[in-house]
Amino acid sequence: MEFGITFKGFVEPNRARALVRQAENAGFSHCWFYDSHILWRESYPAMAMCMEHTQKMRFGPCVTNPNTRDWSAAASLFGSLALQSNGRFDIGLGRGDSAVRVMGKKPATLARLEEFTDVVRKLVRGDEAQYGECPNPVQFPWAVGYELPIWVAAYGPKALSSAGRVGDGLILQIAEPAICKWLGDQAIAAGKEAGRDMSNYRIMAAAPAYFGDLDTCREATRWFPAMVGNHVADIVEKYGTGREDIPASLTAYIKDRKGYDYSKHGQSDNPYLDFITDDIIEGFSVLGSPDDHIAKLHKLKAAGVTQFNIYLDNGDEEQIIAEYGKSIIPAFS
Amino acid sequence: MEFGITFKGFVEPNRARALVRQAENAGFSHCWFYDSHILWRESYPAMAMCMEHTQKMRFGPCVTNPNTRDWSAAASLFGSLALQSNGRFDIGLGRGDSAVRVMGKKPATLARLEEFTDVVRKLVRGDEAQYGECPNPVQFPWAVGYELPIWVAAYGPKALSSAGRVGDGLILQIAEPAICKWLGDQAIAAGKEAGRDMSNYRIMAAAPAYFGDLDTCREATRWFPAMVGNHVADIVEKYGTGREDIPASLTAYIKDRKGYDYSKHGQSDNPYLDFITDDIIEGFSVLGSPDDHIAKLHKLKAAGVTQFNIYLDNGDEEQIIAEYGKSIIPAFS
Amino acid sequence: MEFGITFKGFVEPNRARALVRQAENAGFSHCWFYDSHILWRESYPAMAMCMEHTQKMRFGPCVTNPNTRDWSAAASLFGSLALQSNGRFDIGLGRGDSAVRVMGKKPATLARLEEFTDVVRKLVRGDEAQYGECPNPVQFPWAVGYELPIWVAAYGPKALSSAGRVGDGLILQIAEPAICKWLGDQAIAAGKEAGRDMSNYRIMAAAPAYFGDLDTCREATRWFPAMVGNHVADIVEKYGTGREDIPASLTAYIKDRKGYDYSKHGQSDNPYLDFITDDIIEGFSVLGSPDDHIAKLHKLKAAGVTQFNIYLDNGDEEQIIAEYGKSIIPAFS
Amino acid sequence: MEFGITFKGFVEPNRARALVRQAENAGFSHCWFYDSHILWRESYPAMAMCMEHTQKMRFGPCVTNPNTRDWSAAASLFGSLALQSNGRFDIGLGRGDSAVRVMGKKPATLARLEEFTDVVRKLVRGDEAQYGECPNPVQFPWAVGYELPIWVAAYGPKALSSAGRVGDGLILQIAEPAICKWLGDQAIAAGKEAGRDMSNYRIMAAAPAYFGDLDTCREATRWFPAMVGNHVADIVEKYGTGREDIPASLTAYIKDRKGYDYSKHGQSDNPYLDFITDDIIEGFSVLGSPDDHIAKLHKLKAAGVTQFNIYLDNGDEEQIIAEYGKSIIPAFS
């Protein structure tokens, strides 16, 4: 089991410098940043900064998308970060959620997402590639053959198929074991069907972790099911609620989910949280005592999850990292 | 007189970490990076890296352009770098040269360049702005009021007017005092005409510096007049060669300048260097003994130049920085 | 009110690097290290290391003594640390406790302690000085006039007099307001009597801080009254228990205090803790909820304490620092 | 062939931070500091500082001695530096030259030097040890089994015997191949006689390196033969000048060497340089063009020298390091 943290965009730089070193020392192997350059800051300079204060930790966006940056500019950014960190750079990739919606743009199609993985991998490696907006084929003379790991965020059946066929890993923004297993299995099946060796395929469950009595925990993490609700709603829409193979924990989720305020994306004071039940909050996150965390993480591991990635959006970042370093991560090594 | 260095895109990260600290300690106040993400690496991660190894040095692209990145992504990048360095971030801005030509794209118009300065300044500061490609007005909730200094690169009369009217400084890729004065005066005049207070306006001469006997120096820096030749050719074309106010040192320049290989932009093995005379090489750069450097820099200062920015493209970076720290910079403080 | 932390000698280097940055960012102004080179590691290399990861935080031993190092070697060490941190170095000074006893040596006399402050201050400043073991007068040609702040640890009447006459500050290893006031007043009176301006005199209360219910807090910090018991026993012996001006909280302390195992100095599993009552534990440390901490610190401030220095010996270092940064330090700024 | 640099005690901290990173990047594996806490600064804080800016480079005093510090304090210092650098710490050890003479003290006997190596190795490793001044046996509970490499500086036959029997390496402050071979062979013979496997025994030649025409080089490094003259004089005295096996380059050395001003130890303006001939200057150092350096280093290598350690006392530190990184070190890898 790998452990990751995902940074809030508004963590102060000097606090971030200390947090990544603390996290690396505590046993976390990955540090992810939201890539949503309007709501928060452009995160790549922060990754570059944090790389200077760590030695083994890997960094990357969770998630970027194919529509914010020119593809060669994106690939050059990724390749540069990989190069100056001695290869400690992955990307998480989605179709584009808050980062594009807040600009009034649309998410990318899955075909475009798949093409992006191909072009970006080639360019970062040093191969020639051509893409839509650019009249000339492009090649980086400075590339050194780095193979960029790409994790694809997916919920719906087609996106899961993409993730399994073109991704090195799958990002699931939820820590509900049954749902993780059901979604992960679909990605793996798609990969196998395409003839890939899926034995090293990685599955990340990204969700908040919080310590304390359940009331406190639920209050602190209620924003999370609300935030991922739009994605889950997509699933329900795509699969239909009547299908038999859908986990009960998923169908239990929201009938009457209402609008969502993107200007408060990822914040705990996001309104429209009323429809979230206690069961949903507990199911989606990792809450309670250290023993509760360990128990839930064992279930996630059994469900095929290879990395638990903590969304550090509830404050108490230092305390959560310290507690994981002291009592949780050692239980999985 | 301020002193800056401009980094080669292919300096190894660990060497860059040492060089910026050496340069800061030697008295250099600015460190500029080429922004040409295909020929070299994306430079902003390198700036973020170098910021972690310095305390007072300012960083920025020399030069970026309005056509490589979505404007809100560019502004978020700039604002993030300013924030995590405690305000040590400027930008140099041009219409787009190698960075866009190598992709088969065209440089921006001056009107677009001017609009870019306005939109980017607003966004970085925290004001709302709207721009061409983006259907919605955009605002950064995380901005902290940073006033981004923008230096505009210009040679031709219209570009100089833009630089004087919308820039905080002017970038001249040449260290010939008479030409610098003639161009700088045009920018300042345009700014005054527009009602600006130009008393703090800054003028940078960016060029190679090299030590040794003149033969060695000329051999090492012959690439530079060739590289900026396309810009100078633009001037000649725009002003006409017959005008009387054009400095003799400029009209002496190239009749028969031939093609230019952009894949070798900024490298000393760029072909097509034959037409460059010794006088031109000496005029465009700062060459010779430490005393020769001091003498030429006094002339540049008298011509209104406020920053000498060394293009470190000839190797011997450590030696050049060390010599400037030992004998040149102290002569100007 | 200033806030400090004191490091355990056995904190892992990489953890220490993160902790000092976290602490600086949280608002702590001082970081102190035990100076006891056999029980723990030599702490000055760790201070030098931590200086590289902070910008404003001050460092120093709490406490060093005149008997471990040759005085010119000690002064050169102090002066070097001051120089490479841009003047962020103080020392705390005592007669020598665990650091010398564990070697079978004796603490220094107060006369020797006072002479040490004089010689070390002179040498660090760049003045010539001579001292017992050294046949020649010594002077540092590299000194730059740094005025080394020296805090003197004291409990008994004569040591308090030394602290007031030759110290820049007083170190009290106890956070009991009445005792702090009674001891601090004696040092200040001695300083005034000697004709010093005591308006900037500083008084540090050094003690554990712990959060949680009182049972947990007492269990975690019971070792502390035991550790400082030998010093308090000295007081009782020197003043006699019958004097009327002795605070009740002090006379309540230990009749039947037994031996003390120096090999477990500063550790929470030190035996001989039985005689410590709940009142004593609560009195000596800062325990309970954030509000309890704030209330106690206001009492310490009213008692003349200018710095609360947390002994981080109970584990949970990151959590304690984080809580102080979030809710305690802001209440005093 | 390994390459090292030795720092001047008066290099500014911020310059030192840049120099060690530059040197590590250029291929230097060791960075040594003079240990002479009165003439220069105490060097261990500077080593700790530099460790934070390097990743592979090893650090250590060149040389320390048994008479400046209490042995347990010295061992704790060494062990702490080893621990916080992940084992990147050696020591060079001599009997005590400038560091003790300037205080009016005497160098240690060879017996005391040998005992020091034994006690310090044991303590750093975590074994119990007892030594003269300390009534109790001492043990570091925090030690982690680090095996401290000790290089012994020697010239005379008895010191060479000590170096061969108790050292991990031999330090020769001279870069004259015949002398290095003659001295190194004696150390190795002594080690073999004592039954040690000397196949990994290391021999360092420590001397200035300088580039330029020979006149300039000689002028810049004339101080060096003067500085080591007292050691060479010791040899002459101990061996007698009439012996047949003494290299001609050694007997050629000084008849009428005069006094030596210790307050200018290691500085180029040390007086009493008159008796130094051109041949001696060239023989003792590594001078001339890059090709001259390479040729001389090949001779040193053939003479059994395993590390060339550059005394950076002539200014131009950055230039010398850069030139070694560019043209000399690559010729030996």
The region of weakest confidence among A229-238, B97-106, B299-308, C58-67 is A229-238
Q: Does B240 touch chain A (CB under 8 A)?
A: no
Q: C97-135: per-residue pLDDT in tens?
A: 878 888 888 999 999 999 999 999 999 999 999 998 788
Q: Is the pLDDT of residue C258 over 70?
A: no
Give the best residue of A17, A19, A20, A22 to mutate against chain C (max C CB count within 10 A).
A22
* Confidence at D275, pLDDT banded by 50, 70, 90: low
Q: B253-272: per-residue pLDDT in tens?
A: 655 554 545 566 555 555 55
* Confidence at B226, pLDDT banded by 50, 70, 90: confident
DSSP states of A68-123: SS-HHHHHHHHHHHHHHTTS-B-EEE-S-SHHHHTTT--PPPHHHHHHHHHHHHHH
Q: Under an 8 A CB cutoff, do B24 and D14 touch?
A: yes
Q: A45-75: per-residue pLDDT in tens?
A: 999 999 999 999 999 999 999 999 999 999 9
Q: Which residues of A touch C22 (CB under 8 A)?
A: 15, 18-19, 22, 318
**Cα–Cα dist D198/D166, whole Å:** 11
Q: B40-56: per-residue pLDDT in tens?
A: 999 999 999 999 999 99
Subunits close to B (at least 3 CB pairs below 8 A): A, D
The region of weakest confidence among A161-165, B207-211, B271-275, D106-110 is B271-275
CA nearest to A134 within chain B: B103
Rounded mean pLDDT of C206-231?
Answer: 90
User: Can you give the pLDDT at residue A266?
Assistant: 58
Percent of chain B with pLDDT over 90: 74
Most confidently modeled range among B307-321, C254-268, D42-56:
D42-56
**Cα–Cα dist D297/D306, whole Å:** 10
Q: Under an 8 A CB cutoff, do C52 and D52 touch?
A: yes
Q: Under an 8 A CB cutoff, do D318 and B321 touch?
A: yes
**Cα–Cα dist A2/B173, whole Å:** 50
Q: Does C136 touch chain D (CB under 8 A)?
A: yes
Better-predicted residue by pLDDT, D97 or C204: C204
Tokens matching residue D249: 């380059």
Q: Does D52 touch chain B (CB under 8 A)?
A: no
Q: Is the pLDDT of residue D125 over 90?
A: yes
A135 vs B68, B104, B140: nearest CB: B104
D25 vs B18, B319, B321: nearest CB: B18
Residues with Cβ within 8 Å of B285's Cβ and at least 6 positions away in sequence, in order, are B175, B207, B208, B209, B210, B217, B221, B224
Q: Does A319 touch chain C (CB under 8 A)?
A: yes
Q: Does A21 touch chain C (CB under 8 A)?
A: yes
Q: Does A174 touch chain C (CB under 8 A)?
A: no
* Average pLDDT over chain B, rounded to an integer: 91
Subunits close to D (at least 3 CB pairs below 8 A): B, C
Q: Which residues of B touch A80 (CB under 8 A)?
A: 41-43, 45-46
Q: Under an 8 A CB cutoff, do C319 and A321 touch?
A: no
User: Can you give the pLDDT at residue B90?
Assistant: 98
Residue A117 CA, distance from chain mean position: 16
Give the count of domains, chain A. Answer: 1
Instruction: Supply the CATH number for residue D104's domain.
Output: 3.20.20.30
Q: Does B22 touch chain D (CB under 8 A)?
A: yes
Q: Which amino acid is at B166?
A: V
Q: Does A136 touch chain C (CB under 8 A)?
A: no
Give the best residue of D44, D86, D127, D146 to mutate against chain C (max C CB count within 10 A).
D44
Which DSSP state fits A59? Answer: E
Q: Which residues of B touch A44 (CB under 8 A)?
A: 44-45, 48, 77
User: Can you give the pLDDT at residue A100?
Assistant: 85
Residue B42 CA, distance from chain mean position: 16
Cis bond upstream, residue A228 (ω within 30): no
User: Can you give the pLDDT at residue B255?
Assistant: 55
Domain with C320, as residue range(s), is: 2-211+287-332
Q: Which amino acid is at D205?
A: A
**Cα–Cα dist D23/D55, whole Å:** 12
Rounded mean pLDDT of B237-258?
Answer: 69
Better-predicted residue by pLDDT, A178 or B8: A178
Q: Which residues of D touch C39 (CB under 8 A)?
A: 141-142
Rounded mean pLDDT of D257-278?
Answer: 60
Q: Is the pLDDT of residue B223 over 80?
A: yes
Range A43-70 burial, b when 16+ CB lie within 10 A, else e: bbbbbbbbbbbbeebbbbbbbbbbbbbb
Q: Under an 8 A CB cutoff, do A103 and B134 touch?
A: yes
**Cα–Cα dist B240/C242, whole Å:** 103
Q: Which of B239, B62, B73, B67 is closest to B158 using CA atoms?
A: B239
Percent of chain C with pLDDT over 90: 74
- Identify the H or E element spanning A179: helix A177-193
Residue D43 CA, distance from chain mean position: 14
Q: How many CB atoms lie within 10 A of CB D127?
A: 14
- Residues D281, D283, D284: CA angle, nearest 5 degrees: 70
Q: Is the pLDDT of residue C1 over 80?
A: yes
Q: Under an 8 A CB cutoff, do B80 and A41 touch?
A: yes
Residues with Cβ within 8 Å of D250's Cβ and at least 6 positions away in sequence, in order, are D176, D178, D179, D182, D232, D235, D236
B83 vs A13, A68, A79: nearest CB: A13
Whether B275 is covered by a domain: the verdict is no
* Cα-Cα-Cα-Cα dihedral sign, residues B247, B248, B249, B253: positive
Q: Which residues of D touch C103 (CB under 8 A)?
A: 72, 134-136, 138
Q: Which residues of D touch C134 (CB under 8 A)?
A: 103-105
- Asked if residues D56 and D88 have their Cβ atoms less than 8 Å apart, the reply is yes
Whether B242 is covered by a domain: the verdict is no
Q: Under an 8 A CB cutoff, do B12 and D24 touch?
A: no
Nearest-CA distance A329 → chain C (Å)? 16
Nearest-CA distance C16 → chain D (Å)? 10
Give the best residue of A20, A25, A50, A213 to mutate against chain C (max C CB count within 10 A).
A25
Whether D128 is covered by a domain: the verdict is yes
User: Can you give the pLDDT at residue B162?
Assistant: 98
CB-based burial label for D198 (10 Å; 0-12, 13-18, 19+): middle
Q: Which amino acid is at D143?
A: A
Q: Does D32 touch chain C (CB under 8 A)?
A: no
B37 vs A46, A72, A83: nearest CB: A72
Q: Which residues of C touch D39 (CB under 8 A)?
A: 141-142
Q: Does B321 touch chain D (CB under 8 A)?
A: yes
Q: A237-268: per-residue pLDDT in tens?
A: 777 766 777 787 777 765 555 455 556 655 55
Q: Under an 8 A CB cutoff, do C48 and D46 touch?
A: yes
Q: Does A140 touch chain B (CB under 8 A)?
A: yes
**Cα–Cα dist B211/B328, whole Å:** 12
Whether D47 is covered by a domain: the verdict is yes
Whether D150 is covered by a domain: the verdict is yes
User: Can you give the pLDDT at residue D206?
Assistant: 97
Q: Which of D305, D291, D278 is closest to D177 using CA atoms?
A: D305
User: Can you give the pLDDT at residue C78?
Assistant: 98
Q: Under an 8 A CB cutoff, do C105 and D76 touch?
A: no
D318 vs B12, B14, B318: nearest CB: B318
Subunits close to C (at least 3 CB pairs below 8 A): A, D
**Cα–Cα dist A326/A329, whole Å:** 7
Q: Is the pLDDT of residue B10 over 80?
A: no
* Distance between start and end Cα atoms, chain C: 8
A·B CB contacts under 8 A: 131
Whether C251 is covered by a domain: the verdict is no
The region of weakest confidence among A2-16, A199-213, C78-92 is A2-16
Cis bond upstream, residue B120 (ω within 30): no
Whether D248 is covered by a domain: the verdict is no
Whether C282 is covered by a domain: the verdict is no
Q: Does B298 touch chain D (CB under 8 A)?
A: no
**Cα–Cα dist C266/B64, whole Å:** 57
Q: Under an 8 A CB cutoff, do C18 and A12 touch?
A: no
Q: Is the pLDDT of residue C257 over 80?
A: no
Rounded mean pLDDT of A274-287?
Answer: 86
The region of weakest confidence among A25-39, B266-280, C28-42 is B266-280
Q: Is the pLDDT of residue A134 over 90?
A: no
User: Can you give the pLDDT at residue C104?
Assistant: 85
Q: Under an 8 A CB cutoff, do C318 and A316 touch?
A: no
Q: D3-39: per-residue pLDDT in tens?
A: 999 987 778 999 999 999 999 999 999 999 999 999 9
Query: pTM of the prediction?
Result: 0.93
Q: Does C84 touch chain D (CB under 8 A)?
A: yes
Q: Is the pLDDT of residue C254 over 60?
A: no
Q: Under an 8 A CB cutoff, do B21 and D24 touch?
A: no
- Asked if residues B4 and B32 have their Cβ atoms less than 8 Å apart, the reply is yes
Q: Under an 8 A CB cutoff, do B318 and D316 touch?
A: no
Subunits close to A (at least 3 CB pairs below 8 A): B, C
